[in-house]
C-alpha cells in the first residue's frame, strides 16, 4: 500500500507479507482519511481473511 501526495510523490509505503500467498481485493478511505485494505491469505489449504487499517 502506497500513499502519494497530490504531486505523485510517495509519502509512505507499507508491505504486508505473511510469507504465504497474499491477495488484496479492496481498498477504501474512511472518514478520518485512514486507508483500509482487505483481502485474504491462502495457506495451501484454506483462506484466511484480513483487514488492515493504516
The CA distance from 48 to 37, in Å, is 14
Provide the pLDDT confidence category of residue 5 given band limits of 50, 70 and 90: very high
Domain ranges of the chain: 2-53
* Residues found in the chain: 54
* CA dihedral sign, ordered 20, 14, 54, 30: negative
Quick: pLDDT tens for 9-38.
Answer: 999 999 888 888 899 999 999 999 899 999
Predicted local confidence at residue 15, as pLDDT? 87
Amino acid at each position: 500500500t502506497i500513499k502519494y501526495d497530490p504531486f505523485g510523490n510517495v509519502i509512505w509505503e507499507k508491505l504486508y507479507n505473511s510469507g504465504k500467498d497474499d491477495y488484496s481485493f479492496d481498498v477504501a478511505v474512511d472518514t478520518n482519511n485512514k486507508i483500509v485494505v482487505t483481502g485474504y491469505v491462502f495457506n495451501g489449504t484454506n483462506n484466511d481473511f484480513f483487514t488492515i487499517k493504516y
